[in-house]
Amino acid sequence: MTEAISLGVGSLVVLVALIALRMPIAYAMILVGGVGIAIVNGPSLLMNQLKTLAYGQFSIYDLSVVPMFVLMGALAAKAGLSQALFRAANSWLGRLRGGTAMAAIAACAGFGAVCGSSLATASTMGRVALPELQRYNYSGALATGTLAAGGVLGILIPPSVVLIIYAIIVEANIVTMFMAAFIPGILAVILFLLTIAIYVTVVPDSGPAGGASDRREFVRATLGVIPVLIIFGLVIGGIYAGLFNPTPAAAVGVTLVWLYGALQRKISLGDMKDALKETAGTSGMIYLILLGAELLKIFMSRINLPQATAEWISTSGLTPMTVMVLLLVALILLGCLMDSLSMILLVIPFFWPVLMEINGGIYQGADGAGYGMSTEDLKIWFGILALIVVELGLITPPVGMNVFVISALAKNVPMIETFKGVMPFFFAEIIRVVIILLFPALTLWLPQILR
């Protein structure tokens, strides 16, 4: 058993080293998992797994929602929904000090509601809002930091591709996870807006007030956002109301976004072709990562590393709340090395047995006795917490994918300035983690009401 555990730990070290050497995470997991299975159980078992594993993974019906939401986000970017959202938010908030940056945050939240991808949200809204922020002489740090941080809203505000993958891994209900993410998503928007307000108060020249919109422009911009509200209402509202499941809902969303773009003459045949190519590439990448994660999970389960980790933690003497905090810190650190989807797929098979082991003692009653959640509530609560700290990896060095995306757009702003600009938002996210950690009802209340 000790040799098997040593092999598992050594394999994880090799995996991290391969990722640090910039090998694609999917290939790294396939290599480590495949070689590990071959070492433990022989090449014949590996061949048998490869013969059926891909079909078994990719034929899951719930996974069909992923390319549909990816396509909806690609079409939304081409249909001009991002511009409509930013114009409306800027007409409401632009007159305030730091208002254009606040408008960018609000627009990121709105676009995330029809996109589901953090990188797509950051990239699309960066192209829309960055010129306006620069026109009003916002500091490079605040302008780029706001857009990089705003992009992370796309990963949590439903629909979220990573949230869907998490639900599939832990066998949670996707609709329930969407419900649980709603209040924490709104909390993120509020904290980000407060962060900007404090930032421009401390550094007044960083975010001057913009010009006030005249009544005609205000009305036009406000009416322009109605299609987004209709699409979001029909897709997410339809899911919450039980009118359809996530996959049909995504299909409805794709159709509505395409119709809007076609009627506005903003989506051509070439745009549709590009969106389909983008969807195929992104979905293929996600599916390949899923295959690698499954191979790695099979290898680790055969040497009982997750169970051994859970047993070691349960006998370590650490309090359950301490263990929970350590798990979240580990996720933040891993986020500095890999993207959010890969991290969720890699760590959840290890963390879930630990969570099940400590459930029952996370919270202490007046008599000092521990009490736990139901397994379903634990899946929901930890899933939201995990996704929030995963978001932090998108704006922290050395990876900070959102920072790289925005830096590619703002070539005149040094990357170090962008990292400085996202730090206030990083601390706002830490505050959100603490709030949800201490008050699980923020994630559990809405699912329980709507059940």
Q: How far apart are CA 78 and CA 92, in angstroms?
A: 24
- 357 DSSP assignment: H
Is residue 435's pLDDT more than 90? Answer: yes
pLDDT tens per residue, range 101-112: 999 999 888 888
How many C-beta atoms lie closer than 10 Å to residue 448's C-beta?
A: 13
Domain boundaries, the chain: 62-282
Helix runs in 42-78, H state only? 43-58, 65-78
Q: pLDDT averaged over the chain? A: 83
Distance CA 227, CA 211 (A): 26
- Confidence check: pLDDT of 367 > 60: no
Please say whether the beta carbons of 274 and 326 come within 8 A.
Answer: no
End-to-end Cα separation, the chain, in angstroms: 44
The answer on pLDDT for 210 being more than 90 is no
Contacts of residue 321, defined as CB under 8 A and 6 or more positions apart, other chains included, come to: 362, 363
The answer to which of 51-55, 208-212, 282-286 has the lowest mean pLDDT is: 208-212
CB-count exposure of residue 35 (10 Å: 0-12, 13-18, 19+): middle
Give the CA angle between residues 4, 10, 16 to the nearest 5°: 140
- Measured in degrees and rounded to the nearest 5, phi and psi for residue 23 equal -70, 135
The pLDDT, as a whole number, for residue 399 is: 67
The Cα 166–Cα 341 span in angstroms is 9
Residue 366 has pLDDT above 60, yes or no: no
Q: Which residue in 122, 119, 150, 110 sits closest to 230, CA to CA?
A: 110
CA distance 80 to 83: 5
- State the Cα–Cα distance between residues 168 and 176, nearest whole angstrom: 12
**DSSP letter for each residue of 167-223:** HHHHT--HHHHHHHHHHHHHHHHHHHHHHHHHHHHHSGGGS---PPPPHHHHHHHHH
Distances (CA, A) of 34 to 26, 45, 51, 424: 12, 10, 13, 42
Tokens of 155: 């990963």
CA distance 237 to 241: 6
pLDDT at 37: 86
Q: Is 316 helix (H, G, I), strand (E, B) or coil?
A: coil
Cα-based torsion angle of the residue sequence 290, 295, 300, 301 in order, rounded to the nearest 10 degrees: 90
pTM: 0.85
Residues 25-33, mean pLDDT to the nearest whole number? 87
Let me know if 62 is exposed, middle or buried by CB neighbors in 10 A (0-12, 13-18, 19+): middle
> What are the tens digits of pLDDT across the range 62-85?
788 888 888 888 888 788 888 888
pLDDT on residue 66: 84
- Tell me the C-alpha distance between 406 and 333, whole Å: 22
Q: What are phi and psi of 393, to 5 degrees?
A: -65, -20
Provide the β-strand partners of residue 370.
364
The span from the CA of 411 to the CA of 135, in Å, is 15
Q: Are 328 and 433 in contact (CB under 8 A)?
A: yes
Confidence at 422, pLDDT banded by 50, 70, 90:
very high
> What's the CA gap between 14 and 386, in Å, rounded?
24
Query: pLDDT grade, residue 315 (50/70/90)?
Result: confident
